[in-house]
Amino acid sequence: MTEAKKIMRALAGETQDVPPIWMMRQAGRYLPEYRATREKAGDFLSLCYNPELAAEVTLQPIRRFGFDAAILFADILLVPQALGLDLWFVTGEGPRLSTATTAADVAKLKPVEAIHDTLSPVYETVSILSKELPKDVTLIGFAGAPWTVATYMIAGRGTPDQGPAHALKDSDRATFEALLARVTEATIVYLSAQIDAGAEVVKIFDSWAGSLTGADFEAYAVAPAREITAALKARYPHVPVIGFPRGAGEAYAGFAKTTGVDCVALDQGVDPAWAAAHVQTDGCVQGNLAPEHMVTGGEALVAETQAIVRAFSGGPHIFNLGHGITPDADPDNVALMIETVRSFR
């Protein structure tokens, strides 16, 4: 185990003196080299579907910062596009989708086997990265969780409270669950293809899990994650899975046991001491520095980084942010964070 990559060692349950580190959205607009490459691509979707350029922006933060992992550059909404919905991005406002809100809409979605027609460039990006990444850097693939992806498919855009998805769930549960089932199946196929192309770890991003409560959280956050993880483990038993039910609060406790994921990623709203006592006891945790520190920097960044490393030092831990880095972040603050993690004793 000591010869394995640091991320893989943490995911296997090893406690390390210095935790491995990577950062959600580490390839992004805060880096001038990313902005130059995106301009070369023309637009965001063109960048996602250009394997050479997508690989380039994935590699940029590895070259600059020396992270222990690279995460595939793509977008969670490529799956609904591959299922047949129209997808476009409005500058300054974010993604837009044609919607799937009726039984007829769901029936018109493409069969999951057809998603490869659209997503094959993504697999090519993974293949390029598996060859070009430094040998000590782990390659992470990812997909959006079914609930989170479905919220965009139902609303046609991001919403503050995922209200349209909740409304469909409450008014036409059969259609809602049929949509979720289709996305779940497509996610298994998509992540399997990423693993076949060279991904060593996969992560399931449930960015809007926090708006689900009680039985709905169990049915639409936990159950799909369990189904996806079980299917992947049956095919690829040695490939770790990271789950990220952002905003889950106390429901983070037990999430690893109930879903089978190897690691639970924590948002910045979770107290590290509480998470060490209630989540890390079941295995590896990832997180959870507030992304705002990448903007403000200074002594607060150092102190909070040290506090997180200290809190999780008794078990397997991957240092990360509690959510993705923002475009207004300062790369110098990222370097300071990494230095703080790696020098802490």
- CATH number of the domain within which 172 lies: 3.20.20.210
Residue range 29-56: average pLDDT? 97
pLDDT for 300 equals: 98
Assigned domain for 57 exists: yes
Kindly state whether residue 339 falls inside one of the protein's structural domains: yes
Q: Cite the active site residues.
A: 25, 29, 38, 75, 152
pLDDT of residue 92: 83
pLDDT digits (tens, 9 = 90+) for 215-243: 999 999 999 999 999 999 999 999 999 99
Q: What tens digit of pLDDT does each residue of 155-181 get?
A: 999 999 999 999 999 999 999 999 999
Rounded Cα gap, residues 60 and 287, in angstroms: 22
Q: What is the largest CA-CA distance in the chain?
A: 59
Reading the block at residue 298, the tokens are: 């200074």
Can you give the residue range of the structural domain that contains 49?
A: 6-343
Residue 60 has pLDDT above 60, yes or no: yes
Confidence of residue 2 (pLDDT cuts 50, 70, 90): very low
Report residue 3's pLDDT band, with 50, 70 and 90 as the boundaries: low
- Is residue 97 within 8 A of residue 86, CB to CB? The reply is yes
Whether 1 has a pLDDT exceeding 50, the answer reads: no
pLDDT tens string 300-313: 999 999 999 999 99
In a domain? residue 153: yes
In a domain, 163, yes or no: yes
Instruction: Say yes or no to pLDDT of 43 above 70.
Output: yes
- Give the pLDDT confidence of 186-196 residue by residue, as tens digits: 999 999 999 99
Count of domains in the chain? Answer: 1
**Calpha distance 126→130 (Å, rounded):** 6
pLDDT tens sequence across 85-118: 999 999 888 999 999 999 999 999 999 999 999 9
Average pLDDT, stretch 66-91?
A: 97
- Give domain status of residue 1, yes or no: no
d(CA 272, CA 322): 11
Contact 248, 147 (CB under 8 A): no
In this predicted structure, what is the pLDDT of residue 269? 98
Q: Is residue 164 part of a domain?
A: yes
Determine the distance from the C-alpha atom of residue 336 to the mean position of all C-alpha atoms in its chain, rounded to a whole number: 23
- C-alpha span between 160 and 181 (Å, rounded): 24
**What angle do helix axes 163-171 and 146-155 make, rounded to 10 degrees?**
90
Q: What angle do CA 16, 17, 18 make, to 5 degrees?
A: 90
Averaged confidence pLDDT in the chain: 97
